């Protein structure tokens, strides 16, 4: 369901009704001494300010999403309701998602929502680990970017609430000249390091798959995205690169989780 398109259609319908009422129907009612709107106007014109405000807020400022799976555990949990900043990476026209004002671009370590490249009616959320032009190596469950290995510390047991199996929790750190950010990830020692399905995707020729991992050169205008739950995430390792035009925005805030109220206000 394309909710943005539905909302846009409602804005048009209610806006036309609102304008017609202001210019034509309201003067007629005043002349006839009638105070109340007809029922069809009450359910169209009167809702226009609210629908328009929601449309502008959702299209250009923030948009809510719900986390449906455990691919971003431990950073995001199943059932988290999050907010996504819609203008961090530029202003896009709603419905067609065309960028009209350039304000920035995703950085390594950003958690972003994007339209799934193989089915753009579906929204995905992952962490950006590689930028256009980067060479990404994922070998034995460790990342190297442009020849620089990321740092890993920790390794404490963590019960994955989705699989109900213990994984190991690490802090993954980017080198300073690659952003210097760090975040938590999970690795399941019982899962193999490689085992990626070799289905061709746009830019497949930029990748070489090995038994223990892969190496990819990210094409211009694309990003490499991975879930923090590394052994329980369908991401760029499996279906390829994220085009810039598919980016929806940067996730930054948990505003509700009905199963764990303590998570409200978390994330960044």
Q: Exposure pattern of 74-112 as b/e (b: 16+ CB <10 Å)? A: bbbbbbbbbbbbbbbbbebebeeeeeeeeeeebbbbbbb
Between CA 95 and CA 7 the distance in angstroms is: 9
φ, ψ of residue 236 in degrees (nearest 5)? -60, -20
Whether 236 is catalytic is: no
22 catalytic per annotation: no
What is the Cα–Cα distance from 242 to 118, expressed in whole angstroms? 10
Instruction: Give how far Cα 45 sits from Cα of 19, 23, 82, 182, Å.
Output: 8, 12, 31, 49
Q: Among residues 71, 86, 141, 236, which one is catalytic?
A: 71
Residue 24 DSSP code: I
How many residues make up the chain in this entry?
Answer: 268
Alpha-carbon distances of 82 from 51, 74, 186, 237, 263, rounded to whole Å: 21, 15, 21, 25, 11
Catalytic residue (one of 14, 59, 126, 236): 126
The residues that are catalytic are 71, 126
């Amino acid at each position: 369901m394309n909710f943005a398109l539905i909302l846009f259609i409602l804005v048009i319908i209610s806006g036309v009704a609102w304008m017609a009422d202001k210019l034509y129907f309201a003067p007629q009612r005043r002349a006839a001494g009638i105070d109340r709107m007809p029922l069809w106007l009450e359910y169209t014109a009167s809702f226009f300010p609210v629908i328009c405000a929601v449309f502008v807020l959702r299209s250009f400022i923030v948009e809510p999403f719900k986390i449906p799976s455990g691919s971003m555990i431990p950073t995001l949990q199943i059932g988290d309701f999050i907010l996504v900043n819609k203008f961090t990476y530029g202003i896009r026209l709603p419905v067609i998602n065309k960028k009209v004002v350039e304000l920035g671009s995703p950085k390594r370590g950003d958690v972003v929502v994007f339209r799934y490249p193989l089915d753009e009616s579906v929204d995905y959320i992952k962490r950006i680990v590689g930028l256009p032009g980067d060479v990404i190596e994922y070998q034995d469950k460790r990342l190297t970017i442009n020849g620089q290995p990321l740092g890993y510390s920790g390794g404490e047991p963590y019960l994955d609430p989705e699989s109900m199996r213990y994984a190991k929790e690490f802090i993954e750190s980017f080198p300073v000249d690659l952003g210097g950010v760090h975040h938590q990830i999970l690795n399941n020692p019982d899962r193999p390091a490689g085992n990626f399905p070799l289905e061709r995707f746009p830019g497949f020729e930029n990748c070489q798959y090995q038994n223990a991992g892969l190496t990819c050169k990210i094409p211009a205008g694309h990003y490499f995205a991975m879930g923090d739950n590394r052994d329980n995430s369908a991401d760029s390792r499996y279906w390829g690169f994220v085009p810039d035009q598919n980016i929806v925005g940067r996730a930054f805030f948990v505003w509700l989780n009905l199963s764990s109220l303590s998570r409200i206000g978390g994330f960044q």
